[in-house]
Chains A and B, each alone.
Chain A
Amino acid sequence: MSLSRVVLLIIVVAELILIGMRYQENGGFSAPVKSRVNKLERGNRVAVRQMEADLDTHSIQDWVNLGQVYTTFALMPEAEYCFRRAGKLGNLTLEQQFKYGICLSRRGKMEKAIEIVLPVANSNNELAVHANQQIGFDYLRLDLRLEAEKYLRKAGADPISELSLARILIRENRVSEAISVLDGLITRDPNSMRAHQMRSWAYEIPGDTYDEHEASISYDNSMHTSGMIIIYPLSRDWDEEMVAGMGAAKHLAASSIALQKGEYENAINEGELALEMIAPLWRPGYATPMIDAHLANDEPVKALAYVAKWLIHDGESARLWELAGDAFLAMDDENKAEAAWLRGTRIRASKTFQANAEIYHKLVQLYQAQGNPEKATIYHAWHQYESGKLQWRDNNIREAIVSFTKASVVLAQEEQVWFYLAESQRALNDRTSARAAYEKCLLLNEHHGRAIVGLSLVN
């Protein structure tokens, strides 16, 4: 054999070996996908790249896990690729199929998603309820209402499915069936605001079930209850668990745990790590634990630095000013604490909805400590008012009436105090008291539209 042929043969053999090695590495002829994680924050980016590096290309579960991560971060072509690779390796379990279906659903491939999830829905697996719900929602996204109804019913007594089912029934003009579903929801949870709300809409529909009085009662109930039902399938819980276990979120969680245990330095260190990992992004949710930790660690100046950054980055909020006031008080600067808290009273609290009531409480304590009973009395009344609103919000009407009544003694010139007192009294059918309170409100503001409506309902 000539030398050249020998050389070529050696090259062929070497290439075959290299191909074999690459096949082993890839788990097949196709290379693993290189995901577009460039858009993610650093911590998550690093975590995903690590998962990719550790991927066992012969493991179905590894491909499924990676597909699930990509699904969470909406890298959908990557996610679908992973699930297809998993499928080529062997049969998926029901849970793995469900996750594949979620991937396809989020990618907008609803018909294919339904096909994949159907076996899970028809099984006795614990995921069957969620699978039926998922299919129901996908049929709604395809505007196939009656198919959606079938699967939402199969999802059973789940508030999310039942609320969606009620909506379908209302739109199908099967209003009495819808009301029956909603009544069941309300029986199980009287604080279910959305059920009351949809019940009022149901009774507004012209036809045999039309009932203005029932609609009005349900509408009123929806105004002082707070139970939310939002379309929040199991997959979103999985997203949260996924994210909580990686990157910055892991350190944020560690910071919170350390703070609860009183390990303030540790809480601060973990919080700083978390902020580093989301850089160059910045979120107030990562700043507030740092403020809490520095305050707990008797470092109010450092806490204020985070408050300042939060203010510039995201704007003011009641909670921000409450914390600023706490920091100033820790620095024995009562004037600035008062100024910060007073500023906070002018902002309506949102996510931390107790903040308004809390701020007033802190002002009361400050004025009492300063020996200023007049101011303490006024702000105690405001605290009562805000507490009443929190109670009203959560359907604790009797407690709300007590709070509003106490507030009205001092804040007799505030129209909203009388308005909420009136609404609370009307909610308990105390028409006489409600009428008197509405009239006082309207004396202060004759154009208070909601009070005008309320008064007409008790007259």
Chain B
Amino acid sequence: MGERMYASGDMQTQVDKLEEEVAADSSDRLHRPSVVAMLLFCLCGLLAVTWGMMGIEPALNSEISVLTRHPDVHWSKISVPVKKHIPAEFSELLQVNDTPFDEAIASHEIRITNVQVVDIDGDGKHEVLVCNASKNTVTAYHYRGTEEIDIQKQFETNPDALNDVLSNGSVRHKWDQTLIGDKLIAPAHATVVDVDQDGDQDIVVSTLGDLMPSDELIGTVTLFEKVDEGYRRRVLLQDVRRVADVQFGDFDDDGDIDLVVAIFGYARGGVVILENMGDGSYRDKEIIARPGIVNVPVADYDNDGDLDIGAIVTQDEEEVWALENDGQGNFSTRVLFMTDNFDVGGGGLIAADIDQDGKMDLLMTQGDNLEFGHGWPQPYHGVIWLKNLGDWNFEGEKIGQLGGAYGTAATDIDGDGDIDVVLVSMSNDYANSRNPSIIWLENDGNKFNRQHLIDTKPTELIAVGCGDVNGDGKNDIVAGQFRIPLSIVEDHPITIWIKE
């Protein structure tokens, strides 16, 4: 027994060695799991990832490009405050049982139909002239600079408004406004022109009579003649279908200012000349009978010294016409552009010499898709440049893509001396907050290969204008919102992007 208890040296060594191996083996087992365990662990991970991915909603592919801002072109965005306006006779009429008419029971729907940056009072400063088709007004907004809000004073005098100051900043832009006219049923456009040639600017307003589709005889042309005490109002044309635009020119070369009227109507429309008879009266004459005339830009398109008229025909016809003046106010017609695509949704037509070659071109937007209550941006939405090649040859080229495109303006955005194009959208896919509502197309050697984002909000923009709002010598951009009352978006009736 003693001999067993006292193992030989070799036996001890073997035992030690065995213990070491067992210890090492255990240690190994602790720090190096078995292959099976590792495989099971990996499988767990894989199955967990699979389960997780099965819960992720698939990405919805959209063909709408995500745009970025130009690195060297910057704006700061401001809103123009739009006050409520209810004519006094209406509030008096709707008063009930001596209870004052409660204006707070509702707000105006946001329906800006036209915005322009234009000097209406001849003081060398531009106003923002706005047609509002829910207030039924034409209003000029005068920019009066900025003021710093004293936060302490605000807290003491009007603590309720303090939140507004804290969210929007302490710098306020000041505005005055001049009501040009009210009780205009759905004004579509206001044209500034010295119609009576007495040295001041009058305003001619086109009214639709109803924003919604209607073929009834509800349109008017109303003159707001500038007088010392404001404006004197006179209807120049009525009992016609919805009027979308009025422009001007001395078409018959008799020294006075005639007017040309775009009758949009619905299924029936046309272009009418209001010939100035020299005594303040006007004679109407229909030149073409076509539906959906949105705009009638006037220019000397054939460079023969007289004023011609462009006209966009929409409502399934989708053409651009020219009315060629013979110099005496007689017009012959030419079709400059047409498409069989009844769905393009012609939104507007403006005249601009995009390539600055002395021949006036046309820009036509495509993107009105309100036939369906909810529209989807189409691949053919955007803007077409109808390049004037001379001798009544116009070549159409799509230079910009924007779903739901509506208003357009031409101006030098990047300060390189050429004409760029601004485009706004009323009905882009705004369920995706990254989709643009206002963009600009960069002119690079009369090629438009790049589009840049200006902003994604506000949405549902229908009208745009360019000009120097704040008097700093740089062209700003103004856009008007037109709310489609089927979807929920933020209200911002008039937004200005001040060029920095």
Interface residues of A (CB under 8 A from B): 2, 4-5, 8-9, 11-12, 15-16, 18-19, 22-23, 26, 29-34, 36, 38-41, 72-78, 81, 106-108, 137, 140-145, 148, 164, 167-168, 171, 193-194, 197, 200, 219, 222-223, 226, 228, 230-231, 236, 239, 243, 280-283, 301, 304-305, 307-309, 311-317, 324, 331, 336, 339-340, 343, 347-351, 353, 389, 416, 447-450, 452-453
Task: Note all chain B residues with C-beta closer than 8 A to A351.
Answer: 210, 212, 214
Contact status of A11 and B94, CB under 8 A, knowing A143-B339, A350-B216, A351-B214: no
Some 21 contacts from A to B, beta carbons below 8 A apart, are A22-B51, A41-B486, A75-B431, A108-B63, A137-B342, A140-B343, A145-B340, A167-B317, A197-B289, A222-B268, A223-B268, A308-B102, A313-B134, A315-B185, A347-B185, A350-B209, A350-B214, A351-B210, A447-B283, A448-B284, A450-B284
Cα distance, A40 to B288, chains bound together (Å): 41
Q: Is the interface of A mostly helix, strand, loop or mixed?
A: helix
B373-A239 in contact (CB<8A): yes
Task: Note all chain B residues with C-beta closer than 8 A to A200.
Answer: 289
Cα distance, A315 to B489, chains bound together (Å): 21
Contact of A312 among B84, B210, B282, B343 (CB under 8 A): B84
B54-A22 in contact (CB<8A): yes
A77-B40 in contact (CB<8A): no
Contact of A281 among B108, B268, B432, B488 (CB under 8 A): B488
The answer to whether the Cβ of B375 comes within 8 Å of any Cβ in the partner chain is: yes
B379-A108 in contact (CB<8A): yes
Cα distance, A448 to B60, chains bound together (Å): 59
Interface core residue of A41, A108, A168 (most chain B CB under 10 Å): A108
Interface size class of B (residues with CB under 8 A): 35 or more
The answer to whether the Cβ of B70 comes within 8 Å of any Cβ in the partner chain is: no
B54-A23 in contact (CB<8A): yes
Chain B 474-492, CB within 8 Å of chain A: the 1/0 string?
0000000000011111000
A280-B47 in contact (CB<8A): no
Contact status of A311 and B94, CB under 8 A, knowing A16-B47, A31-B56, A347-B185: yes
A77-B136 in contact (CB<8A): no
B212-A11 in contact (CB<8A): no
Task: Note all chain A residues with C-beta closer than 8 A to B374.
Answer: 72-74
The answer to whether the Cβ of B336 comes within 8 Å of any Cβ in the partner chain is: no
A305-B47 in contact (CB<8A): no
Task: Note all chain A residues with C-beta closer than 8 A to B377.
Answer: 108
B281-A219 in contact (CB<8A): no
Cα distance, A450 to B238, chains bound together (Å): 12
Give min CB distance, A82 to chain B, whole Å.
11
Chain B 49-60, CB within 8 Å of chain A: the 1/0 string?
011001111101
A39-B431 in contact (CB<8A): yes
B136-A315 in contact (CB<8A): yes
The answer to whether the Cβ of B376 comes within 8 Å of any Cβ in the partner chain is: yes
B432-A36 in contact (CB<8A): yes
A40-B488 in contact (CB<8A): yes
B430-A39 in contact (CB<8A): yes
Cα distance, A144 to B341, chains bound together (Å): 9
Cα distance, A176 to B486, chains bound together (Å): 44
Cα distance, A386 to B108, chains bound together (Å): 31
With contacts A317-B210, A447-B282 known, what are 15 further pairs, Cβ within 8 A? A9-B40, A12-B44, A15-B47, A16-B47, A23-B54, A31-B57, A33-B58, A38-B488, A193-B267, A197-B268, A281-B486, A301-B96, A317-B185, A324-B93, A448-B284
